[in-house]
Amino acid sequence: MPTPAELEKILKQRRAWQKAPRQEKKKASFRFVRPIRTRELTDFTRQLATMVGARLPLAKSLGILAQHHSHPQMQRVLRAVLHGVTHGQSLSDSLAQFPKVFSPLFVNLVRVGEVSGNLPEILQQLAGYLEKMGELRRKLLTAMTYPAVIVLVACGAIGFLLFGILPTFTDLFREFSAPMPLPTRVLLGTTEFLRANFFYMFLLLLAATVVAKNFAQTAKGRWTLDAIKIKLPLIGAVVKKVLIARFSRTLGALLRSGVSLLEALEITARSAGNQLFAQEVVRMKHMATRGELMEKAISGSKLFPPLVAQMIAVGEETAELDSLLTKTAEFYESEVDAAIEALTSIIEPVVIVVLGVVLGGAMIAIYLQIFDLMNVIQ
């Protein structure tokens, strides 16, 4: 039986523990905190799986991870999760309080692990899934960033020519008051127009960016943006393959963990990452509710190629749908790698040709005027 002094000490510690998350949140509001990355969430999941698999108590495992995690926001989240677990909540319910960190898929798989008593294995599967999704996200970022960087460099080179080099020749040509060839007049006129209206063009670009950003936050804007992503030349094919791989791996992971098909489709729709794909998955769920096969639902979709429908049909016939979906995901992940390499090999020569035409045309326009000036001087 604890003494009154010991009871008072325990109550003080509990009150301090309950206030800690609010104090830290207030303190953190005055500084920028980097968002939690997928890699950090993957490491946490794998470490928790290892500890729980070694029969370490869940609360102690969470306490160790919260104490030694390098990310301050993840520390606060884990302390709050630990607080919920030590006060009688299940791990899945505690994680569900942080939807920005733990997705519905994450929470539902953890819940399946708790119910089935197979939490360590489910966490290992979840860590593998997060790792694959992180790789897909990096590949998609590479596919969309590389063209942007190349175009930016090209624009920088052209801008340096127009604003750094050509003005010198403009003053020189005007001193001689000699007639200019048509290419030279067009080039210098373009340069003067851009220099005179640069500020207004910058304001117009800034306003367009703000309007586009606000529009993208609406439901219609997200739908439009997602539709544009999968229809873009060259890049759209890569984005589509990434989305198909994500759909296959997510649904396969859920089914392998014992989640029912209808619930798995609902979670997959929320994790699709694209409004058009999410709508297609919701349609599949409605058809599955009426007892129809997934193969029939996916065959009528314009977003999924026939290969996906065939793989799903084989999976349904052999009762190995989760395995066939995983193989489909692996196939399209390899397709993403090949598509990114092809995209890189196509973009580089195109940009080089465009730069050559622009810079070569500018140099020709300059030299034409220089030759005319030499004739005038002679």
Q: Which has the closest alpha carbon to 66: 83, 91, 89?
A: 83
Please indicate, yes or no, whether residues 255 and 300 belong to a single structural domain of this protein.
yes
Mean pLDDT for the stretch of residues 127-131: 85
pLDDT (0 to 100) of residue 16: 44
Domain count of the fold of the chain: 2
- Does the pLDDT at position 141 exceed 90? no
180-226 tens-digit pLDDT: 777 777 877 887 887 788 889 889 999 998 998 898 888 888 889 88
Whole-prediction pTM value?
A: 0.68
Tokens coding 260: 């029912």
254's tokens: 């859920």
The pLDDT, as a whole number, for residue 234 is 76
Residue 257 and residue 35: Cα distance in Å, rounded? 28
* pLDDT over 70 (residue 9): no
Question: Which range has the top average pLDDT, 13-22, 230-239, 320-329?
Answer: 320-329
Residues 276, 177, single domain; the answer is: yes
Whether residue 109 contacts residue 271, with contact meaning beta carbons closer than 8 Å, is answered with no
**What's the rounded Cα separation, in Å, for the pair 172 and 123?**
72
The whole-number pLDDT of residue 174 equals 67
Clarify whether residues 65 and 175 are in a common domain: no
Q: To which residue do tokens 């943006």 refer?
A: 225
CATH number at residue 41: 1.20.81.30
**Is position 10 within any domain?**
no
Whether 96 and 140 map to the same domain: the answer is no
**Chain centroid to CA 136: how far?**
9
Domain residue limits at 243:
132-378
Q: In the predicted model, is pLDDT for residue 31 greater than 70?
A: no
98 and 142 together in one domain: no
Q: Based on the domain organization, do 137 and 214 belong to the same domain? A: yes
pLDDT at 206: 92
Task: Tell me, yes or no, whether 278 and 331 share the same domain.
Answer: yes
Q: Are residues 81 and 150 in the same domain?
A: no
**pLDDT number for residue 24:** 39
Give the pLDDT score at 10: 43
Instruction: Tell whether 66 and 162 lie within a shared domain.
Output: no
**Straight-line distance from the first to the last Cα atom of the chain, in angstroms, rounded to the nearest whole number:** 113
d(CA 238, CA 154): 23
